[in-house]
Structure 1
Amino acid sequence: MIKNNVETTIEGNKVLYKRYFDVSRELLFEVWSMPEHLAEWWGPDGFTLTTKRMDFTNGGFWEFIMHGPDGHDYKNKIQFTNIKEPHYIYYKHLGDGEGDSDVHFESKIIFEESGEGTSLIMEQIFPSKEELERVNEKYGAIEGAKQHIGNLGKYLEKFK
């Protein structure tokens, strides 16, 4: 399935998103790793972002709040598990970081050189197929991720 130039594949408890960007791998990695860039594009349509703290190292944490267009704030906490610049960023989404969130998954963000640009491969891995289905039904996770990647694309237009 392709929407917003995002190819999406669902297999069991995993969702794979792929999109080509006409920018260097180094730039694409940078906009995924620096709070000042993330504030400009992170999240689905209509969301804004506030980073509380970010330690972009293996084992480091990123705590942030996604401000929804409905006025609701969504606290998030991520732990980076494996970073290799400019090749990939792996992390665990730990919910809201306060033990009150019901959304936990792992993500692999891979940056592959492709011709003059870079292919982004984003894999989300949920504890089970049922959990993926529940999170998608409750939060619109798959559509939100497509919009997330679409907003990244819009932001990258500023660098051309």
Structure 2
Amino acid sequence: MTQNPKQASAAVAPAHDGRNRFATLAFERDVAAPASVLWQAWTAPAARAVWAAPTPSVTVEFLEADTRVGGREISLCKVEGQPDIRCECGWLELQPAERSVNYEVISSEGTTQSAALVTADFVDLGEKSRLAVTVQLSSLAEDMEGGYREGFGAGLDNLASAAGRTMILQKLIRAPRAVVWKAWMNPKTLPQWWGPDGFSCRTKRIDLRQGGEWVFDMIGPDGTVFPNHHLYGEVRTEERLGYALLWRENGPKHADAWASFEDQDGFTKVTLGMVFSTAAEFQEAKGFGAVELGLQTLGKLERFVTSQ
């Protein structure tokens, strides 16, 4: 998580004495989502991209994202007219819905400004959860503690908001990961199973590569047409894909979505996540049965791959 870039870019002089060089910062947020959902919002790269920027004036560009023990995430925090802030995050421990530990190194213009150890603890409160984050900070430039307090505070506020409008669907599919991935990423087979029971797809354009798109209509059992447009921002073979969901071709975005694929003893655990653009859209989706309909879609995927 990047600190406040305005303070970071100003803090390039080395700290010549021990005053305020080391600090332990504590943050806590109550979140209107179960711990399992909060965990996905905290760790999934597509979700992190939604809430990472501390303020609207900041743009965060992800150069690398590998959320597993030993993996790292590299991002650039950009503010117009100021040097880019580079953040490197390395994952040291990941206990799903319980705890994560990562290191974080902040630099700008080739100068390392800080290093930190970040521990996040998740407490399940049923339909709600609590996140407690401890940052053990070593400042290598002046005024880093203030920047961290501001940047982490704003980022966690964003995270709590995003988690509250995040929908997570999971299914263990009785097929190897390579088979499931192929059925999802083949332009001929994806339209054959995509959508809830009784729905069909009518494709206009489909290119499932990174930077590609899928423009299609979902057709309901009663003939109602629902125009859709998916824009693919990330594709990591047999691991995950990230995409934006638009209402109709080039219409407004209603969610940032991702799908991840994990091997489990020859079966495949598929996680389909969506961070809706607004809380109202999230509630509307829940109201019309998006969870049940999404699970039907994953059920059709399983029936498709096991029938081949």
TM normalised by structure 1 equals: 0.84
- Given that 1:35 and 1:51 are in contact with CA atoms closer than 8 Å, whether structure 2 keeps it comes out as no
Which residue does 1:17 correspond to in 2? Answer: 169
Which residue does 1:70 correspond to in 2? Answer: 222
1:106 maps to 2:256: yes
Q: Whole-Å Cα distance in 2 between the matches of residues 62 and 40 of structure 1?
A: 14
Q: What aligned pairs does 1:20-59 form with structure 2 within 5 A after superposition?
A: 20-59=172-211
Which residue does 1:142 correspond to in 2? Answer: 291
| Deviation by residue 1:46-100 (Cα, 9 ceiling, x = unmatched) | 001121111112121110111110111111100001001111111000111153x
Identity of counterpart residues, as a percentage?
28
- Given that 2:174 and 2:302 are in contact with CA atoms closer than 8 Å, whether structure 1 keeps it comes out as no
Q: Whole-Å Cα distance in 1 between the matches of residues 171 and 242 of structure 2?
A: 18
Q: How has the CA–CA distance of structure 1 residues 132 and 72 changed in structure 2, closer, same or farther, with 3 Å as cutoff?
A: same
Q: Whole-Å Cα distance in 1 between the matches of residues 276 and 260 of structure 2?
A: 18
Q: CA deviation at 1:12?
A: 1.3
SS in 2 for 1:35: coil
Segments of 5+ residues of structure 1 without an aligned counterpart are 1-7
1:85 to 237, 261, 282: 237
Segments of 5+ residues of structure 2 without an aligned counterpart are 1-35, 38-126, 128-162
Q: CA deviation at 1:153?
A: 1.5
Tell which structure's C-alpha radius of gyration is larger: 2
Aligned length: 149
| 4+ aligned runs moved over 4 Å, structure 1 | 8-11
Moved more, 51-60 or 85-94: 51-60
